[in-house]
A and B are shown apart, each in its own frame.
Chain A
Amino acid sequence: MIDESVRWLDDRLGVAKGGRTLLDKIFPDHWSFMLGEIALYSFVVLIATGVFLSLYYIPSAHEVVYHGSYLPLRGTRVSEAYSSSVGLSFDVKSGLLMRQTHHWAADVFLGSIAVHMARIFFTGAFRKPRELNWIVGITMLMLGIVNGFLGYSLPDDLVSGTGIRIAYSIIESIPLVGSYLGFFLFGGNYPGNGIIIPRFYILHVLILPVIIGGLIAVHLGLLVKQKHTQFPGKGKTEHNVVGTPMFPTFAAKTTGFMFMTSAVLLLLGGFAQINPIWQFGQYEPFQISYAVQPDWYMGWLDGALRIMPSWEWVGWGHTIPLEIFLPAIVFAGLTFNFFYLWPHIEKRHTKDLASHELLDRPRDRPKRTAFGAAMLMFYFMLFCASSTDVMANFFNVSLNTVLWTFRVIVFALPVITYFVTYRICNEMRAAEGIGKRKRAMVVSRSETGEYSTVSTEPRPGDGAHELDAIPVPTYINLTPEELETGPGVRRVMR
């Protein structure tokens, strides 16, 4: 059966040669390689739940009277977008589960991208020849953030509506063209002529997902073409890849992992309430709720807007709202351009033009690691600064104190982080044997009172790391008896 199908396809497309190579593709075994998989499978969940939601959501600002089953809203005049969002939560079977899972998947998607990116950064996987894939990845992060914001805005509830208002003001702050861009995008002065929800919708469900999906294909295509990086170790060189083959070992593990990622997202969606739009109510431009915060991945921008001093520039009959333009446009632009250029910047600094297939251990590159840690601290502090009001309330201190604290520590903590990390890296490099795989030692005493230490036998599995790697075999010779006792029965002791 299989034989016939492969032959049929091969006669037409010649799949056997490349296909075999693909099945034999080697995946190095390291937990940190799983972070990108979380992002990929969150994207799968986003598509699946998103398709479900798109069957019920109506992208329209048209005003209707709500008649659904949520009593507090019944009889109120709301937009069709809001009405259908509440409707798909309460009146569509498993709709609430799908909506909340979708939201959680978006948060996890961007979170795993951020952590994956940190892994790539700290291990130097972005170096030649993988600069292109780094750029593709940064682009996906950027588009993911934008698409997250667009999706968050679609239900037309009070909290997301306030976010759109802020986005409009940010666009408006661009010198020369800002007010034109705002009017073009929104179809008029804020809140526009009702066109913004359909526009956000088509961007959110078609244009950006197609681009992100295409970039994922490019990301994985480059990965197959260039093969994986690997950590240094026994038998691992710049000229090979050591690990387990795509089929069946990796395929089984990664498919199982896809199911588990989906399961966690579903459990979050079912048990951890997120974005209860029916409590916020319909967006009205003159209403607002307390402690308004965006989704976590927008936090760094919101924090930057909060701690920025009110430096509006006025002169020659024009205004440049620097208190918006600098943090929201210039800073965000600099951030992503800096990310894009990082491989180049590092190359300039280290004068290292060689190709690298073996990864760095972070401690062995103390400057890069310290710098990366400082960057993480910087953006994390900006993220924390997006809840100044909540903190002031919680710690019972004045808003002024919290604001000035953040204005200082956003810059001070990264500097401290740099030096501390740098020191830790150097200490770790100096310590002998640190980070090596440990094995139990048996201390025995001889009759004459001598003590000696013997390392224990490797456990099965531990031993696998000590074998010499061999190419994936073509086929396994089996006699019928061998098949009987075949897989799962251990016959060789190492």
Chain B
Amino acid sequence: MSDESVTAEPAGPLPIGSLDDPHQQPYARHPGRAQAVAAVSLIIGILGCIGFGIAYWISDQTQWEAITLGVGLLGLGFGLTAWGKYLMAQGPFVEDRHPHNSSEEEVKAMTAAITQRGGIVVGRRKLLGGLFAFGSLAFGVVAAFPLIRSLGPKPGNALFVTTWKKNSPLVTSDGRPVHQNDLEVGGVLTVFPKGFAGSSPDQTILLRIEELTAEDPPLTLTSPGRSDWTALGYVAYSKMCTHLGCPVGLYQEQTVELVCPCHQSIFNVLAGAVPEFGPAPRPLPQLPIKVVNGFLFAQGGYNQAIGPGFWERP
């Protein structure tokens, strides 16, 4: 380093200061003015803090509390900072920096203490060393396993099933059965199997695409093998997005698309809810439905796991 010559002299008694020393001078050109500014600022701070007490006591209005306490702390802070910056000794002062490393002997001594002292101890009693290492390992495993394991149940087949069954009545989130006249064309409703209103995996979105009667030909979906999964122009899909499980809550009637508000996956309702756009990888599973005596029922459960992907999903 070319700068080595500048290093300060060896540590000794520190010098005695004098107020005449330029290092002890304030930064401000007009210290009197700086003091006045700091004083006014501190007074504003005091008034603000007292003001907060009053505001808290008589009104409890968030904005009054914020402005009094905020201005109070700002005044105190600004006054103190101005005092420090403009009126206290600015130096520059210097401090020596000592090398971080120890001498070579000290490093060697420490390494030797660990390797040799420790090495001898372990080397002489390999059996004890091995046993203790094994014991620690065993403790680590047995301590970690129940700690993690008792946090919750194993998944089992919970991710594959919902409570939808054959003939489950469709009900709304407040438990009311869904009638065939409940929705007009373009209407959507979140439905659940009866008795499980509000349950997360069961959430299903019911849409009315056309107003059909029992005599009309059923709604045509382009997905094969599902010609009779709709009823009277109603179609139902799992409301859980196949991307990250958000409720697919937006319905665009003109384009007949379901949109997930989280990451904008778009599902084509008439094509079996296949994703047309965005990060969702799979169609929303479809719930086959039927109408009996004017009320809607499920023909059966979903034929696959709903929601986002996971390792066990085939």
Contacts and interface: CB of A to CB of B under 8 A. Distances in A.
B68 to A, nearest CB: 9
Contact of B25 (A291, A310, A492): A492
A394 interface: no
A403 B24 CA distance: 61
Contact of A287 (B97, B245, B247): B247
A190 interface: yes
A437 B262 CA distance: 50
Interface residues of B, number: 108
Contacts of A317: 314
Interface stretch (B27-35, B105-113, B225-233): B27-35
Contacts of B22: 463-464, 467, 492, 494
Interface centre among A239, A399, A403 (most CB of B within 10 A): A239
A197 interface: no
Nearest to A265: B70
Interface stretch (B5-13, B123-131, B206-214, B284-292): B5-13
Nearest to B57: A93
B19 interface: yes
A289 B247 CA distance: 10
A357 interface: yes
A239 B97 contact: yes
Interface string A239-265: 111111100111111011111111110
A271 B69 CA distance: 12
Assign chain A's interface to a size class: 35 or more
A248 B26 CA distance: 13
Contacts of B8: 240, 471
Nearest to B200: A285
B78 to A, nearest CB: 6
Given A26-B94, A249-B90, A310-B278, A183 B28 contact: no
Given A237-B3, A460-B29, A270 B66 contact: yes
Contacts of B311: 174-179, 318-320
Contact of B74 (A26, A186, A260): A260
B90 A244 contact: yes
Contacts of A100: 62
Contacts of A266: 66, 69-70, 73
A485 to B, nearest CB: 9
Contacts of B81: 252-253, 256-257, 260
B200 A305 contact: no
A252 B41 CA distance: 14
Contact of B245 (A190, A245, A478): A190
Interface of A: 24-26, 93-94, 96-97, 100, 129, 162, 165-166, 168-170, 172-180, 182-193, 195, 226-227, 235, 237-245, 248-253, 255-264, 266-267, 269-271, 284-292, 302, 305-306, 308-312, 314, 317-321, 323-324, 355, 357, 388-389, 399-400, 403, 459-461, 463-465, 467, 469-478, 482, 486-492, 494
30 contacts: A94-B62, A100-B62, A177-B311, A179-B159, A180-B155, A187-B153, A239-B96, A240-B8, A240-B94, A252-B84, A256-B80, A257-B81, A269-B66, A287-B249, A305-B244, A306-B263, A310-B243, A310-B280, A321-B308, A399-B266, A464-B22, A464-B27, A464-B92, A471-B94, A473-B15, A476-B18, A488-B32, A489-B31, A491-B20, A492-B21
